[in-house]
Amino acid sequence: MSLFSGVRVIGFDADDTLWSNEPYFRDAEEKFCDLMETWLPRHSAQRELFATEIDNLKLYGYGIKAFMLSMIETALRIGGDTLPSDAVARIIEIGRSQLELPVILLEGVEETLQNLYGRYRLVVVTKGDLLDQERKLEKSGLAGYFHHIEIVSEKRASDYQKLLRHLDVNPNEFLMIGNSLKSDILPVLELGCLGVHVPFHTTWEHEQVDVIVSDPGFRQADEIKQILTWL
């Protein structure tokens, strides 16, 4: 029997699995570093911003609004009294422009969903800001493929366990597909679910893990539509 023969429900991460997201954050980070060049070299400004983001996760969570607040806090700390009066307004504009960017589907995503729709219950499991994630899903044109949308503040094994109970599905019947080993794959494998890692060309530093996954329920795909050969 195939590893995935018992799958009833397939979960998809959203950002950098269904559509491109991380490059937008890196572009915003570059613009922030441009603003900070008077005070710090680019790599130092990047490190300061990252440290602020991580420190603020427990308060603000993930997403563009949290990123914007961390940029403002970092700029005020770096620039102090010498920060120009319009700097905060410029940072807010960087964040607002992110919220208005187009949603660009990754190659093979819609073909894959079209093939799986009706054969499995498809769900989105994503973390981030509720309004922003809902906006991206609506803009993507993909909402109609999904039985359920789950937007969470974190993706821990306990969060996936709650989702399994809500969907009334056993761990061995649930397959999770995503670009982050840390958030999308390792927690579900811990529960006895199945996981397919589809790497994206860039990954936020906080999501990077240096592990070799040997779990029998794990597969890595070069592209998302490769899962169609396994299901």
Average pLDDT along the chain, 231 residues, taken 10 residues at a time: 88 96 93 94 95 94 93 94 92 92 95 97 93 92 95 92 96 96 95 96 80 89 95 90
Give the pLDDT confidence score for residue 187 in this predicted structure: 96
Give the pLDDT confidence score for residue 3 in this predicted structure: 86
In sequence order, what are the beta bridge partners of 10?
122, 175
Give the pLDDT confidence score for residue 129 in this predicted structure: 86
Give the pLDDT confidence score for residue 166 in this predicted structure: 95
Distance between CA atoms of residues 155 and 9, nearest Å: 17
Rounded to two decimals, the pTM is: 0.90
Give the pLDDT confidence score for residue 1 in this predicted structure: 53
* Domains of the chain, CATH where assigned: 9-19+103-229 (3.40.50.1000), 22-99 (1.10.150.240)
Judged on CB neighbours under 10 Å (0-12, 13-18, 19+), 114 is exposed
Give the pLDDT confidence score for residue 212 in this predicted structure: 82
Phi, psi of 221 (to 5 degrees): -115, 145
For residue 220, the surrounding DSSP H or E stretch is strand 218-220
Give the pLDDT confidence score for residue 74 in this predicted structure: 96
Give the pLDDT confidence score for residue 91 in this predicted structure: 95
Give the pLDDT confidence score for residue 110 in this predicted structure: 96
Give the pLDDT confidence score for residue 32 in this predicted structure: 95
Give the pLDDT confidence score for residue 206 in this predicted structure: 76
- Work out whether the CA dihedral 18, 23, 26, 28 comes out positive or negative: negative
Distance between CA atoms of residues 102 and 90, nearest Å: 21
Distance between CA atoms of residues 96 and 68, nearest Å: 9
Distance between CA atoms of residues 179 and 202, nearest Å: 10
Q: Rounded to whole angstroms, what are the CA distances from 140 to 46, 51, 106, 168, 223?
A: 30, 31, 10, 28, 19
